[in-house]
Structure 1
């Protein structure tokens, strides 16, 4: 029975690449100054691969000289997890005292109760009709983070405010074991909102998983309350509702050539930044070759900020120095752009890009014969659809873009995540089979039988359906513009073979000028930085290292050769 319950927990509550447990390690409590958080309620939204996947309502209260976290939790991907009760109690020194969780996982009832006494924890676990009790030693100062119960990160946020880079935090992954979290670096971000400015302190940490360290960002506000948790390798983002408002964006130091723009779209406006060269001689006709950067589906701002580094902002600055005017923008429903992303399809995003291209084409300082799209990740797919429909686009560059269908890509990326998490072959097969069933149902090629209503509601969306149905082969065959494919050699999210596949498809085009060029970038990972192996454990080095200049150099060289003055 014990083995069965533990196996269930491993499959259900540690489904993909979240926190696994290591061997016996003990740590002393930190002597840092305690932070006093502000009590109150917070509402969080959960996103998996940029798709809405859950809702969390949490409350932090101080009662009888104890801190109590209470929450309700509804997660629909990558598993169906509904929580009626989550209650975690810490003492006044933020040492764990008691944990209670009850809810359903794939419609099966479970209850977890953990009682902490110094360095001993007793766990009573019931899954359906099976129950077990275990006891183990832990660090008395542990922060308790059960997998997929993201309200628990409120306590981690508070602990992080007491630490310095290099410090470690003992983590108990109830009810299974413990790991450590290492604080790598800290930076601050200013968020501009309709109600004023918010200051976020961003803690870049690594969970020292035995199989593959997991990088994360934890955003904390000035009240020592959790704002955001991002787990890049799992494509999971948990954000407080107030920072998801349309009017909110991360503020960044302006470039002297920056111009804030708003462009009308389908009943709303798209917000962006257009940057003009200032240290480069102006073209004789006063018209600049202009690049429109098209973001991926995961990005939450026009700068495509990842682990503290604004990837598009850095790419824009480098291209501007090469003599290009560059626009980057907030996708619909993101940052300061209007619109409703939950009802948008890949084709809708392509229409937004076309509106921006038409805006650029009307400007007197834009060279109409040299308007170029640069699509990043699945932003490359959006770029292909836009270019197929819009002859004002003169060339398209694809960076880290997949060459297989959306359906195949989802399954490929899930298999990669499950393998990196150390799941068994049986576990991988079961989860991939479930994803295949969901995909077929979304595409109206199969049944929803056996899949919960919550999972169906989250998966059966216009965006996910359009993404699954997208076929790069069909799109490229109808694109007449020159193509550039840039692929990082160490990209672990869009594997290098995709570049060759895109090249083969593009070479079948017979129209004049429909050329293709492919460049594989040695030592470059998915986020355009120099890497040693491209693994998840290196992601947080982005906080101290910008994107590789090779990317902008390759882009600029190709554009100047392909679209000369």
Structure 2
């Protein structure tokens, strides 16, 4: 269920034989094809003789990502973003005065060179749905605590201008480190949803994921279950306010947020309804298998054998064995099944080994292992509150047909008395009107969120306010 906004692992190889202050902005661009680029800005500061880095990705409109540690010793720059699932390591070239290194995302490694200075940005894509101030409602930056996790979560609360207490919803983002707007491909869908709902008289709380933006915590160590406690903390915060109707607090979850929402709702009596957007209704292991096949960027000689190999890899990673044993078994399995496929494409053993090790690390993160073993239908079946489930017919990440069947079957089995499951024609994973639904199309579409989908959400929510 990983989204275009990307989950990274950055590597930069560096040999620098002299000492220097590397404070300042460093920028570079990764080419993902003939017509696609992603630019990165690393703002490195020296604070009390320790380096601190903030990462921005302008094309994704992502800013303020803070890797947990930055070091520069013996010419080696290491930006350790394990808290965000990223890593950058690099080599300084004295002649060109730049870092020359590599960018790695999962099994993919691409060259990335960094030069010091400001990045010249191209004109941003037109996003006509984004609201313009002054807004016809109030907006407030808020911070609330997840005491269980000992973290602070920062967000934005939009409130109708009314003397009465407002019904409210909490927006729950999809997989990967997300800011409060769920920014992806220069789009900010949660901003659009919040604006639309607040204009309809509904307060909306959206917040940065733990470890992202102004929220504290470690994102990479958290699972779907951990994120559900963040949502429960948001519910508790809204209940503490005297301008929120505590009898009308709902959850709206997108993608992974759509499987977090039922998990959170079943742990409290303070959630009155749930909206699932592009949510899954089948086990995570099956979702991962389907995506490994449908989104694979390379051909394989035998599709049946490849599927069997992926199934076994997932089963190994999902087991309850010690992590060291799991990694060892995965290495043996991949060497027998995936290495023969990669070798003709990659061409040399060191590169193959690098890719295999990347696959192993990807399959064994806390989030992924929990996801493999999590069946959202189990939690959906327990819901005794109203449920709206929307999926787009052109969603290539979470296929509507099979997942909506899983969701509807669970609601029927649980004897839920008030639910609506609806497919929206022509919409992709982010509810944009699309041609193909493929991920590479997201950034080229001006529309951020279909007005038809917005109307379905707000109309249903307004009908279910007590």
Query: TM-score w.r.t. structure 2 length?
Result: 0.69
Find the counterpart in structure 1 of residue 329 from structure 2: 449
In structure 2, relative to structure 1, the CA distance for the partners of 1:518 and 1:400 (3 Å cut) is same
In structure 2, relative to structure 1, the CA distance for the partners of 1:490 and 1:44 (3 Å cut) is farther
Separation (CA, whole Å) in 1 of partners of 2:145 and 2:97 = 48
In structure 2, relative to structure 1, the CA distance for the partners of 1:436 and 1:71 (3 Å cut) is same
Match of 1:275 among 158, 167, 186: 158
Separation (CA, whole Å) in 2 of partners of 1:399 and 1:381 = 10
Whether 2:299 is the aligned partner of 1:423: answer: yes
Separation (CA, whole Å) in 1 of partners of 2:298 and 2:357 = 29
In structure 2, relative to structure 1, the CA distance for the partners of 1:150 and 1:353 (3 Å cut) is farther
Find the counterpart in structure 1 of residue 93 from structure 2: 61
Partners of 1:528 and 1:551 within 8 A in 2:
yes
Aligned residue pairs total: 361
Find the counterpart in structure 2 of residue 107 from structure 1: none
Find the counterpart in structure 2 of residue 558 from structure 1: 460
In structure 2, relative to structure 1, the CA distance for the partners of 1:319 and 1:518 (3 Å cut) is same
Whether 2:431 is the aligned partner of 1:401: answer: no
In structure 2, relative to structure 1, the CA distance for the partners of 1:455 and 1:547 (3 Å cut) is closer
In structure 2, relative to structure 1, the CA distance for the partners of 1:438 and 1:323 (3 Å cut) is same
Whether 2:425 is the aligned partner of 1:509: answer: no
Matches within 5 A, 1:405-554: 405-418=283-296, 421=297, 423-426=299-302, 432-444=307-319, 447=326, 448-451=328-331, 455-497=359-401, 498-510=403-415, 514-542=417-445, 544-554=446-456
In structure 2, relative to structure 1, the CA distance for the partners of 1:528 and 1:42 (3 Å cut) is farther
Separation (CA, whole Å) in 2 of partners of 1:429 and 1:361 = 52
Whether 2:144 is the aligned partner of 1:263: answer: yes
**1:519 Cα shift?**
2.0
Partners of 1:43 and 1:57 within 8 A in 2:
yes
In structure 2, relative to structure 1, the CA distance for the partners of 1:461 and 1:445 (3 Å cut) is same
Separation (CA, whole Å) in 1 of partners of 2:102 and 2:106 = 18
**1:301 Cα shift?**
0.5
Partners of 1:58 and 1:151 within 8 A in 2:
no
- Per-residue CA deviation, residues 89-125 of structure 1 (Å, 9 max, x unaligned), is xxxxxxxxxxxxxxxxxxxxxxxxxxxxxxxxxxxxx
Separation (CA, whole Å) in 2 of partners of 1:254 and 1:288 = 20
Partners of 2:330 and 2:360 within 8 A in 1:
no
Q: The residue matched to 1:257 in structure 2 has which SS?
A: strand
More helix, by proportion:
2
Find the counterpart in structure 2 of residue 70 from structure 1: 100
Separation (CA, whole Å) in 2 of partners of 1:254 and 1:414 = 45
Query: TM-score w.r.t. structure 1 length?
Result: 0.57
More strand, by proportion:
1
Partners of 2:106 and 2:358 within 8 A in 1:
no
Q: The residue matched to 2:123 in structure 1 has which SS?
A: strand
- Per-residue CA deviation, residues 437-493 of structure 1 (Å, 9 max, x unaligned), is 442222226853251776545532322221111101211111211110011121111
Partners of 2:90 and 2:101 within 8 A in 1:
yes
Q: Which has the larger radius of gyration?
A: 1
The root-mean-square deviation of aligned C-alpha atoms, in Å, is: 3.5
Match of 1:300 among 147, 155, 178: 178
Separation (CA, whole Å) in 2 of partners of 1:318 and 1:441 = 44
Answer 1 or 2: higher relative contact order, Cα 8 Å, separation at least 6: 2
